[in-house]
Structure 1
Amino acid sequence: MKTLQMPAPSQTATLDTGALRSSFLLEELFRPGELTLVYTDLDRAIIGSAVPQGSPLVLDSADELRASYFCERREMGVLNFGAKGTVMVDGVAHELDKCDCLYIGRGSKEVSFASADASSPAEFYLISYPAHAAYPTIKATPADATRVELGTKEECNERTICQYIHENGIKSCQLVMGYTEFKPGSIWNTMPAHTHLRRSEVYC
């Protein structure tokens, strides 16, 4: 597992484009046949991906976690951006179609990822944070998501935020997860570039 240390805000203001990309952009995700994880010092978040093509990809612990298994003291959110796949959690199979979400609670010991068709693999996007309590593993589909409409045609940012893991949806310790659908003609949702002191944000 790669470790990424974020630059301080005062240092970030002095970085050129190349340095900003190397500090914040994760270009090694979604490699066919691989499970990739990046440990960051930003709230101890772990960002990763799993693109299974043959045998299932197993989520193991790492030296950085000092844990017997990955979710011993962590929770994880999974979003599938590819074809149909399966996430096995402690012997229970959770089938995920495109844009389906799975929350995996603290204490889940055995986690693996598989594709229904190796020639058209699932593409699982993974986010994990430390957890102080155990919540149940739950799957959600786009029909289950809380949908929030934002933006205007004039500002070219009409969009629907589909919320999965949040205070009114799937319960978690500190993880919030969802995805954004853009309306035709809309081109952005984060401008002007900004930060939040109250939370970290990780975009795929």
Structure 2
Amino acid sequence: MDIRYSTGPEDVKRYTTEELRKEFLITDLYQPDQVTATYSHVDRMVVVGIMPVHETVPVEKGIDIWKNFGTHFFFERREAGVFNLGGSGVIAVDGTEFRMGFEDCLYISMGSKEVTFRSDDPENPARFYMVSAPAHKPCKTTFISFEQANKRPCGDEKTANKRVINQFIHPDVLETCQLCMGLTQLAEGSVWNTMPAHTHERRMEVYTYFNIPEGHAVFHMMGQPQQTRHMVVQNYDAIISPSWSIHAGCGTSNYTFIWAMGGENKEFDDMDEIAIPDMR
């Protein structure tokens, strides 16, 4: 498991491109029949990629659970949300199977003991993207299809940010301990996400970008509002965003991204908006 420690804004504003990418960018998440995991000390979030091809892959494959979590199984003190970004597949949670189509989501409760992943077709494997947060009580493991998500259209073609925010793991949809997740789709011709930008001191956030056309990329903006930096992000890359950092992006084409938050609360209005003229 890759470990990422917390970093402060005073240090980060002096980072080179390579140092920024080493601290905040997560690449190569999907390896055949493997579990690829990154543990962030920012709110103790874990970012996981699982691509089963020929095997049924258990969530703890290749992870020393006691060494990394101090527990006896992955979900003993954790909850998670999983999206499928590839071909169809199945997630089994303590014997109950959930069929996962493209962009479907599964919330997995604290206390789940046996969690496995498999693909329907090895020629078109599922890509399971999972974000896990600490939890203090069991909630209900719940499947949320793309159609069942709470949809919030926003933005405008004139400002190149017309998009739909699909809220999957959200207080208006289901109960969780602290985790919130959703999927934002940008319309054709729109390239900006989360602009005007904001920060939220009491929650961190993780983005993963996908549906980026071949030959294109997203320029992800981060840093304090008056000390912005960027990283060039490719298809299926993820970004760790500390609470003090903005998190926005501009693509060379439209794209989709999944956002995941955890921290002090689940209040979406608990944020500090930044006016565009005030940014540097």
Q: TM-score, normalised by structure 1?
A: 0.96
| Pairing of 1:171-190 with structure 2 (within 5 A) | 171-190=175-194
Q: Pick from 102, 106, 120: which aligns with 1:102?
A: 106
1:82 has 2:86 as partner:
yes
Which residue in 2 is equivalent to 1:8? 8
User: CA shift at 1:35, angstroms?
Assistant: 1.2
Q: Aligned partner of 1:47: which letter?
A: V
Q: Pick from 137, 143, 149: which aligns with 1:145?
A: 149
Which residue in 2 is equivalent to 1:136? 140
Give CA deviations for 1:98-140 in whole Å, capped at 9, x if unaligned.
0000000000000011001111100000000000111010001
Q: Pick from 114, 118, 123: which aligns with 1:119?
A: 123
Which residue in 1 is equivalent to 2:26? 26
User: CA shift at 1:198, angstroms?
Assistant: 2.3
> 5+ residue gaps in structure 1?
none
Name the CA distance, whole Å, in 2 between partners of 1:50 and 1:108. 18
Mean Cα displacement is larger for which, 29-38 or 62-71? 29-38
Aligned-residue Cα RMSD (Å) equals 1.2
Name the CA distance, whole Å, in 2 between partners of 1:6 and 1:98. 33
> 5+ residue gaps in structure 2?
209-280
The alpha-carbon distance between structure 1 residues 198 and 90, as it changes in their structure 2 partners (threshold 3 A), is: same
**3-state SS in 2 of match to 1:71:** coil
Quick one: percent identity of the two aligned structures? 39
Mean Cα displacement is larger for which, 169-178 or 54-63? 54-63
Name the CA distance, whole Å, in 1 between partners of 2:151 and 2:195. 21
Name the CA distance, whole Å, in 1 between partners of 2:19 and 2:194. 21
Higher strand share: 2
Aligned residues: 204
